[in-house]
Structure formats: C-alpha cells, structure tokens
A and B are shown apart, each in its own frame.
Chain A
Amino acid sequence: MTAPDPFLPQPWRVERRRRELIGAVTLELAPLAGARPDFAPGQFNMLYVFGVGEVAISLSGDAERGTTFVHTLRNVGAVSGALTALQVGASVGVRGPFGRGWPLAEAEGADVLLVAGGLGLAPLRPALYAILARRERYGRVVIMVGSRSPEDILYRRELEHWRRRPDLEVLLTVDHADADWRGHVGVVPALIPHAGLDPAETLALVCGPEVMMRFTANALLAAGIRPERIHLSMERNMKCAVGQCGHCQFGPFFVCKDGPVLRYDRIGTILAVPEI
C-alpha cells in the first residue's frame, strides 16, 4: 500500500522510454517524491494519463534493483495509446502496486517452468529476475516464450543473453516464420511434452492471452503437473484495483485483489465457461 488513500494517484515521471515492438513500449517511471514502493513480481499498477484515464499495467522490472517502476505495454486503447505516446519527462499518475503475484516462495526447491505468450513475458520477467537472483534455491528453470513471429519476440536481446546461461533453459517458438528463422515454429503448449519436465517437481507460471493459457494448462496437466502447481496471470477489466468496483470479477474472485495470479485448481472449472 503506497498511500493511505488507495484511490488517489501519486505523481510520477517518465524517466526512460524504449520502443520494444510495433505499438509496444517500455516506460521507466520515477516518483516525483519519495522512493519507489516495494512490489512483488506479478503485481500491477494503475497508470493515469492526465485527462484521458487510467489502466492496469503489470510491473515488468526487477523488484530488487533500481529505483523506478518498469512497465511494458502495448497500444490497445485510448489510455494505453496515450501512455505509449508519452515522452521522457512527461508526468503520469501511479496507484499501486496491487494484487497477488507469482508464488516464488512456494516455488523454492521446485523446478520452475515459466510459459509466456506474446506480451505475457512482461509480467513474468520480474519473476525470472527474482529466481535468477537466488538461483541456488530453485531446481531446473525453463522459460518458454511463444510469439506471433520472430519480429514480435519481446525482450529479444535479453532472451538471447539468458539463453547463454548454463543454468537457464530458454525455448522460443513462433506461430509462423519465414525460412530464415532457425528456432521452433508452433504454439507454445506444443513445446511442453518435449521439455522433459519432471511433473512431480515442476511448478508452472503462465502468462499470456487467456486462450493460450488454457491450452498451456491443458498441456501441463497432460504432462502430469498437478493443477495446484499451475499458476495463471488473469486479465479482466480493472477500475478500482482494490476489490470494490466489481469490474474484474471472475467467478468467486476479484482478479485485482485475489489475483491477478490465480491457481489453476481454483479456476480450472470456470476458465472455459464462456462469459464468466
């Protein structure tokens, strides 16, 4: 909790802006006053653009380093469009961090599989930073990233860098490619049966479009991973971020405060029901 009033934004400033992909940027925000609040990997902030509105964006920076909030977002609407157009020096309103993040303490001692689809890598990146910072506490660590095409791979340079680490397995796949692409082509769940996972030891963290997460969860279950060891980061409409406006309801959950990371054994039955 940053402010006594959870509804009142605090003024922050765009410190850096990096274009990631077509329509997607990473903003680094610094507080105008005080220090960056602590956050947990998987949490999100509400970002406000003056006169336009507010939108929920996951945190995608390192929770244990730096003095800024890092957000990677895509222009998909009025507010996110205004955010992606902000230049260095612009002032934004920030509320947060909110929500329950990835179960990194529970993951200690386990093999960790991170499965990202598209921009779903952004909310997973802080989890990977945290795991790598205490690498010895985890077993095998595998990250699978699915993207639309080679040009759409988020954080590609960082992924290449991680790929060279001997203690991290990075598997990239794209939905389609031209003949120059040397990596996997196919959907990310198709990587799961061939990854040699030890189902009894593996805990899976999944983030991406909801359909991709459903397919991924099914592949994980088919690989023998228990439902309570599969964690999905859900997306719903968020307005208040504190469980008081009702917009993000997902069955018995408020995605903003019970999630966004929810365990598959709790949501599996409603995940495939239309319009829940």
Chain B
Amino acid sequence: MESLEEILGRHPFFAGFEAEHGRLVAGCARNVRFAAGQYLFREGDPADEFFLIRHGRVALELVEPGRPPVVFATLGEGEIVGASWLLPPYRWRLAARATELTRAIGIDAACLRGKCEADHHLGYAMMKRFLPILVERLQATRLQLLDVYGKR
C-alpha cells in the first residue's frame, strides 16, 4: 500500500515539491472516491476540502432556473478541483460532479490554510502552483466568453 505522501508526490500538481512541504500537505490529505454521478460538492456548500484527481473525470456545473445544469468545464487526471477554499467566505460557487468513477486525494482546506499561515514558505510554494492553473482557467474562460464558433 502506497502512502498518501508517495501518491501526492507523483501527482503533477506536486511535481518537484520539497519533501518537507510534501509531508506537511500529506498531513491534511485523504483518499476519496466518487461514483459516476456523485457530487464532489454543490454550489453554496462550505469549501472545506479541494481535490487532486488521480483517475476519472469531474464536470463543473452551473444551474440556471428552468433548464438542465450547464457544464462549462471538465477536469481529468492530474488536475485540481476547487479554488474557493482559498478565500473567504470559503463557499463553493459551482457544483462538481464525477461523470465517471473518480479517485482523488482530498485535502482539508482549513488544515492546509493553517499550515500555510504558519509556514509562509509552504504558502508561497502552494501559491506558485495554484496561480498558473487559475490564470490558465481564466484565459480559457475568456476564450469561451467570446463564443468564437457561434455565428456572430
């Protein structure tokens, strides 16, 4: 049986992470498993845990009244799910649903926030990994916003 620390170390998100930092993060982590159709979280829930996908696929959804949920992104192996745990009020602003059997590592948000606060080196290392992902998603959202394939 692999340790959580080893599993985390192999996840692309933590590639090259210092061993000491890896140990600190692993202390907040747990293995999780979602069946197809199961929600990782729903809009409005407390954002108390975020996820590193090991296998499977997760759809990010928004609900509009009178129509089925709209999926605006899917995430797969090696990607992370959730950013709202980083900033108050720590509530999810969208829903995340496994579209197939999904295995992930869940990381306790309050635990990690506390460790980052206590060890700013860890906090900075986390920030350097999170920010590029957020920027990339922001850029993808801009492209989506343009609706480039529509008849404009």
A/B contact in complex, CB under 8 angstroms: yes
Interchain nearest-CB distance for A180 vs B (Å): 8
Kindly state the separation between the CA atoms of A11 and B140 in the bound complex, as whole angstroms.
Answer: 45
Kindly state the separation between the CA atoms of A117 and B73 in the bound complex, as whole angstroms.
Answer: 16
B76 on the A face (CB < 8 A): yes
Whether A187 and B61, one on each chain, are in contact in the complex, defined by CB atoms closer than 8 angstroms, is no
Kindly state the separation between the CA atoms of A182 and B99 in the bound complex, as whole angstroms.
Answer: 7
Knowing A187-B140, A189-B140, A194-B76, say if A178 contacts B149 (CB, 8 Å).
no
B38 on the A face (CB < 8 A): no
Chain A residue total in the interface (Cβ 8 A): 32
Whether B151 and A185, one on each chain, are in contact in the complex, defined by CB atoms closer than 8 angstroms, is no
Contacts of B68 in A (CB 8 A): 178-179
Whether B148 and A211, one on each chain, are in contact in the complex, defined by CB atoms closer than 8 angstroms, is yes
Contacts of B78 in A (CB 8 A): 194
Interchain nearest-CB distance for B142 vs A (Å): 8
Shortest Cβ distance from A184 into B: residue: B74
Whether B144 and A175, one on each chain, are in contact in the complex, defined by CB atoms closer than 8 angstroms, is yes
Whether B148 and A208, one on each chain, are in contact in the complex, defined by CB atoms closer than 8 angstroms, is yes
Whether B148 and A179, one on each chain, are in contact in the complex, defined by CB atoms closer than 8 angstroms, is no
A50 on the B face (CB < 8 A): no
B70 on the A face (CB < 8 A): yes
Q: Mark B128-145, 1 if CB is under 8 A from A, else 0.
A: 000000001001100110
Knowing A182-B99, A185-B74, A194-B78, say if A118 contacts B149 (CB, 8 Å).
yes
Whether B150 and A148, one on each chain, are in contact in the complex, defined by CB atoms closer than 8 angstroms, is yes
Chain B interface residue number, banded: 20 to 34
Knowing A147-B149, A182-B99, say if A190 contacts B140 (CB, 8 Å).
yes
Whether B74 and A186, one on each chain, are in contact in the complex, defined by CB atoms closer than 8 angstroms, is yes
Kindly state the separation between the CA atoms of A176 and B59 in the bound complex, as whole angstroms.
Answer: 11
Contacts of A173 in B (CB 8 A): 74
Knowing A178-B71, A179-B69, say if A215 contacts B150 (CB, 8 Å).
no
Total residue contacts A-B, CB cutoff 8 A: 78
A272 on the B face (CB < 8 A): no
A122 on the B face (CB < 8 A): no
Whether A209 and B148, one on each chain, are in contact in the complex, defined by CB atoms closer than 8 angstroms, is yes
A31 on the B face (CB < 8 A): no
Interchain nearest-CB distance for B94 vs A (Å): 12
Kindly state the separation between the CA atoms of A152 and B136 in the bound complex, as whole angstroms.
Answer: 25
Interchain nearest-CB distance for B146 vs A (Å): 6
A61 on the B face (CB < 8 A): no
A74 on the B face (CB < 8 A): yes
Interchain nearest-CB distance for A124 vs B (Å): 15
Kindly state the separation between the CA atoms of A81 and B4 in the bound complex, as whole angstroms.
Answer: 60
Whether B71 and A212, one on each chain, are in contact in the complex, defined by CB atoms closer than 8 angstroms, is no
Interchain nearest-CB distance for A23 vs B (Å): 7
B147 on the A face (CB < 8 A): yes
A86 on the B face (CB < 8 A): no
Whether B148 and A176, one on each chain, are in contact in the complex, defined by CB atoms closer than 8 angstroms, is no
Interchain nearest-CB distance for A272 vs B (Å): 13
Query: Mind listing 8 A-B residue pairs with CB under 8 Å?
Result: A23-B151, A147-B149, A177-B70, A179-B59, A179-B61, A185-B60, A211-B143, A212-B149
Please give the residue numbers on chain B whose beta carbons come within 8 Å of chain A beta carbons, in ascending order.
59-61, 68-74, 76-79, 97, 99-100, 136, 139-140, 143-144, 146-151
Please give the residue numbers on chain A whose beta carbons come within 8 Å of chain B beta carbons, in ascending order.
23, 74, 76, 117-119, 146-148, 152, 173, 175-179, 181-187, 189-190, 193-194, 208-209, 211-212, 215
